[in-house]
Structure 1
Amino acid sequence: MLAKMIEDHDTIRGIAATLRGFLNNDGAPIGPLFASARWTLTRHLLRHLATENLIFRDNASTARHATKPDAPDPFEQRYRQHIDSWTPERIDSHWPRYCRELGSILNTLDQRMAFEEREIYPRLTLGATALAAA
């Protein structure tokens, strides 16, 4: 299961790198390739976060949310709000602002994944809930 979680991170990193490539463009490239990368990240990331939530709930003393294992994940909330608020039209109209916001989210995501791999994953015990989610 941990190998799958790290594999997810690698996939998410690859998608994030694709998105960063679009952010380096001068104009808003809201086309099929950008939209596909954006929604592919969303699909992979939200599935991964849901699996993590199950694992972390089973490992409350180890996970980030040790004091409140059922508390909402602030990063997930931030990402969902980002996706909800940035429509293709809004992205086109405010491309530089969108680039800054998405860049910040991707940087936070990179830091989060590195922290999890270094500090959390090595300490996890996979219980029945996590194994059922696999």
Structure 2
Amino acid sequence: MDVGELRHQHEEITLTARALARAVSEERQPEGVARLRWQLARQLMTHLALEDRLLYPALKRSADLRTRDQAAALEQEIGALGAIFNSYMASWTDDRIAREWPAFCAETREILRALTDRVGREDRLFGTLADGRAAGKPPAARSA
């Protein structure tokens, strides 16, 4: 499985998450917060759908028990993180954000921490896929 598209999506998600993190570090609500939130939501929805279709089925076929276990744990988190993010998006309307800016910032930072952690763990699993272990092949030789 080529994980290039998944890696590219991680890069885009990370860039958007960083921009949103900068925005919520401001004392006052800056312009563009709504745009960043919806951009991140679109990126996440697209990414999670691709993972469901490609990544996790491949990881579940791994000959490596540790890879299968890690994949199972991350796959369970997909639903949890997706549900949490959907709830976050639904509960924070533009009006509520304007009224409760500090609370919005705190919750956004929490969501972004969970997302950053997940992206990092998935990136490590992508390395497993790239070296062939997930497909039941021996790891690819690495040149020094």
Residue 99 (structure 1) aligned with residue 98 (structure 2)? no
Instruction: Supply the distance in 2 between the matched residues of 1:28 and 1:71 (Cα, whole angstroms).
Output: 31
* Cα deviation code 1:48-104 (max 9, x no counterpart): 011112221343362645279688621111111110111111111111111011101
Root mean square deviation of aligned Cα: 2.4
Distance, in Å, in 1 between the alignment partners of 2:73 and 2:112 is 26
Q: What amino acid is the match of 2:128?
A: R
- Displacement over 2 Å in runs of 4+: 57-72, 122-126
Structure-2 change in CA distance of 1:50 and 1:94 (3 Å): same
Larger radius of gyration: 2
TM-score (norm 2): 0.74
| Number of corresponding residues | 123
Q: Which runs of 5+ in 1 are unaligned?
A: 127-134
Sequence identity percentage: 26
- How is 1:1-134 mapped onto 2 (pairs within 5 angstroms)? 1-29=2-30, 31=31, 33-54=32-53, 55-60=55-60, 62=68, 64=70, 66=72, 73-118=79-124, 120-124=125-129, 125=134
Structure 2 unaligned regions, length at least 5: 62-67, 136-144
